[in-house]
Amino acid sequence: MSDVLEIHDLTVAYDKKPVLWNVDFDIPGGKMVGIIGPNGAGKSTLIKSIMGLIEPDGGHVKIFDKDVEEVRDRIAYVPQRETVDWDFPASVMDVALMGLYNNKRWFQRYTKADKKIAEECLDKVGMLSFAKRQISQLSGGQQQRVFLARALARNADFYLMDEPFAGVDASTETSILQLLESMRDDGKTLLIVHHDLQTANRYFDWFVLLNRRLIACGPREEVFTEEKIQETYGARISLIEELSQQLGQKKLPTREY
């Protein structure tokens, strides 16, 4: 399968301070890709730059060999839960239907077929019974699942997710993982910011290791190695210095700090 994402010399700065510096990599289609790196490494900035939500200071991004605005209907985005205004007056069904927004003309009502799609997506994430509930009344994990349903409703080819497992319990994480794996198996491409080093080695078949600059990008067996992780985390490596043993079954700390 050809490359879904091409990033060339991407540089992003806030207040003239570089957050991403000359980042350059490609992602093939049909992969579940983990973006891994310490806090402040630019992981969320990378996702937002790919989505066109942040204007880069240099370089370019191509998705399906086109600019993002030309293929936005083929892309779905799940933001960090903390960045969403959960007090916005909307029901769970309203949020799921938002995934179909790009398919609607101004003031066009949602059809029965649209609502059926939204119901199916809510059912996939175990939230259909909450369809009439206000999103502000949900737990953090439930809110996360609703936003995942919204992304599913788009029926996109390329999904970008900023910490979709954050704040969910173990059983919910397992069910979300199974859903994402089935999407990948159907040929979808998923690019996911993830913090849990203990599960990363099991969850992803491809990695982007990032610390303001690209450390490595490629298949799990080539990239998720002790040497590359040390280079990614630098001085923080004391927390994960037993990586090589963990890769042979020893436990890693569940989060990087």
Domain membership of residue 10 (yes or no) is: yes
> Would you report the helix, strand and coil content of the chain in percent, each value rounded to 5?
40, 25, 35
Would you say residue 244 has pLDDT above 80?
A: no
Q: Can you give the pTM of this predicted structure?
A: 0.86
Residue 87: pLDDT band (50, 70, 90) is confident
Residue 204: pLDDT band (50, 70, 90) is very high
Domain membership of residue 13 (yes or no) is: yes
Q: Residue 184: which H helix or E strand, with range?
A: helix 170-185
Domain membership of residue 229 (yes or no) is: yes
Higher pLDDT: 61 or 87? It is 61
Q: What are the helix (H) ranges across 190-246?
A: 197-203, 220-223, 226-233, 243-246
Chain segment 101-160, per-residue pLDDT in tens:
765 444 567 889 999 999 999 999 999 999 999 998 998 888 888 989 999 999 999 999
Q: Is the dihedral of CA 149, 151, 156, 159 positive or negative?
A: negative
Q: Which pLDDT score, from 0 to 100, does residue 253 have?
A: 45
> Which of 7, 6, 31, 4 is CA-nearest to residue 20?
7
- Which residue spans within 49-169 are E strands per DSSP? 58-63, 75-78, 158-162
Count of domains forming the chain: 1
Domain membership of residue 238 (yes or no) is: yes
Domain membership of residue 57 (yes or no) is: yes
Residue 235: pLDDT band (50, 70, 90) is low
Q: Which pLDDT score, from 0 to 100, does residue 86 have?
A: 66
Angle, alpha carbons 75-146-66 (nearest 5°): 5
Q: State which residues form the domain around 216.
A: 3-86+157-246
Q: Which pLDDT score, from 0 to 100, does residue 214 have?
A: 97
Would you say residue 21 has pLDDT above 90?
A: yes
Place of tokens 């995942």: 148
Q: Which pLDDT score, from 0 to 100, does residue 168 have?
A: 82
- How far apart CA 5 and CA 13 sit, in angstroms, is 21
Read off the pLDDT of each residue in 48-60 and give the average, rounded to a whole number: 93
Domain with residue 163: its CATH number is 3.40.50.300
Query: Residue 24 pairs with which residues in a beta bridge?
Result: none
Domain membership of residue 124 (yes or no) is: no
Domain membership of residue 186 (yes or no) is: yes
How far is residue 50 from each of residues 5, 35, 63, 75, 192, measured CA to CA in Å?
A: 9, 13, 8, 10, 12
Domain membership of residue 114 (yes or no) is: no
